[in-house]
Structure 1
Amino acid sequence: MTRPARPAAPATRPGFVWALPAAVFFLLFAFVPLALVAVLSFTSWDGIGEPHFNGLDNWTSLFDDPVMLQSVWTTLLLTALGVAVQTPVSILIGVWAAGHQRNRAVLSAIYFVPLLLSATAVSVVWRAVLDPNFGVPAQLTWLFGDGNLLGTKGGAIAVLTFVGVWQYTPLHALLYQGGARAIPQVLYQAAAIDGAGRVRQFFHITLPQLRNTIITSVILMVVGGLTTFDTVLILTQGGPGTDTTVTAYYMYQKAFKGFEFGPGSAVALVLVVVATLISLVLVRLSGYDRMRGTTEGM
Structure 2
Amino acid sequence: MTPTATGVNRPSFAWAAPAAVFFGLFALLPLVLVAVLSFAHWDGLSAPHFTGLDNWRTLFDDPVMLKSLWLSVLLTALGVAVQTPLSILLGVWAAGHQRNRAVLSAIYFIPLLLSAAAVSVLWRAVLDPNFGVPAHATWLFGEGNLFGEQGSAIGVLVFVSAWQFTPLHTLIYQGAARAVPRVLYQAAQIDGAGRVRQFFHITLPQLRNSVITSTILMVVGGLTTFDTVLILTQGGPGTDTTISAYYMYQKAFKNFDYGTASTIGVLLVLVATVISLIVVRLSGYDRMRSTMEGL
TM-score category (smaller protein): over 0.9
Structure 2, unpaired ranges of 5+:
none
Deviations 1:264-285 (A, max 9, x none): 1101110111111111111121
Structure 1, unpaired ranges of 5+:
1-7
Question: After superposition, where does 1:110-129 map in structure 2 within 5 Å?
Answer: 110-129=107-126
Residue 148 of structure 1 aligns with which residue?
A: 145
Deviations 1:218-256 (A, max 9, x none): 110111001010100000000000000011000000011
| TM-score for both structures, normalised by structure 2 | 0.96
Instruction: Give, in whole Å, the separation in 1 of the partners of 2:249 and 2:62.
Output: 16
Structure 1 window deviating more from structure 2 (60-69 vs 285-294): it is 285-294
Structure 1 window deviating more from structure 2 (129-138 vs 284-293): it is 284-293
Paired amino acid for 1:33: P
Question: After superposition, where does 1:187-206 map in structure 2 within 5 Å?
Answer: 187-206=184-203
| CA positional deviation for 1:67 | 0.3
Residue 60 of structure 1 aligns with which residue?
A: 57
Question: After superposition, where does 1:231-246 map in structure 2 within 5 Å?
Answer: 231-246=228-243
Alpha-carbon RMSD: 1.3
Residue 135 of structure 1 aligns with which residue?
A: 132
Paired amino acid for 2:200: F
Equivalent of 2:220 in 197, 217, 223: 223
| CA positional deviation for 1:213 | 0.5
Structure 1 stretches of 4+ with a deviation exceeding 4 A read: none
| CA positional deviation for 1:23 | 1.9
| TM-score for both structures, normalised by structure 1 | 0.95
| CA positional deviation for 1:17 | 2.7
Instruction: Give, in whole Å, the separation in 2 of the partners of 1:155 and 1:191.
Output: 44
Residue 250 of structure 2 aligns with which residue?
A: 253
Equivalent of 1:84 in 73, 81, 86: 81
Deviations 1:118-165 (A, max 9, x none): 000000000000000110000110111110001000010000000000
1:107 to 2:104 alignment: yes
Residue 268 of structure 1 aligns with which residue?
A: 265
Structure with greater Cα Rg = 1
Paired amino acid for 2:133: V
Instruction: Give, in whole Å, the separation in 2 of the partners of 1:196 and 1:255.
Output: 58
Q: Secondary structure at the match of 1:146?
A: coil
Residue 5 of structure 1 aligns with which residue?
A: none
Residue 292 of structure 1 aligns with which residue?
A: 289
In the superposition, relative to structure 1, how do residues 275 and 118 fare at CA in structure 2: closer, same or farther (>3 Å)? same
Residue 212 of structure 1 aligns with which residue?
A: 209
Instruction: Give, in whole Å, the separation in 2 of the partners of 1:47 and 1:207.
Output: 50
| CA positional deviation for 1:290 | 2.3
Structure 1 window deviating more from structure 2 (96-105 vs 16-25): it is 16-25
Paired amino acid for 1:210: L
Equivalent of 1:32 in 29, 32, 36: 29
Q: Secondary structure at the match of 2:251?
A: helix
Paired amino acid for 1:54: T
Q: Secondary structure at the match of 1:106?
A: helix
Deviations 1:80-127 (A, max 9, x none): 000001000000000000000000000000000000000000000000
| CA positional deviation for 1:292 | 2.2
1:161 to 2:158 alignment: yes
| CA positional deviation for 1:74 | 0.2
| CA positional deviation for 1:13 | 4.5
| CA positional deviation for 1:176 | 0.4
Aligned residues: percent identity?
76
Q: Secondary structure at the match of 2:147?
A: helix
In the superposition, relative to structure 1, how do residues 65 and 235 fare at CA in structure 2: closer, same or farther (>3 Å)? same
| CA positional deviation for 1:9 | 5.6
Paired amino acid for 1:123: S
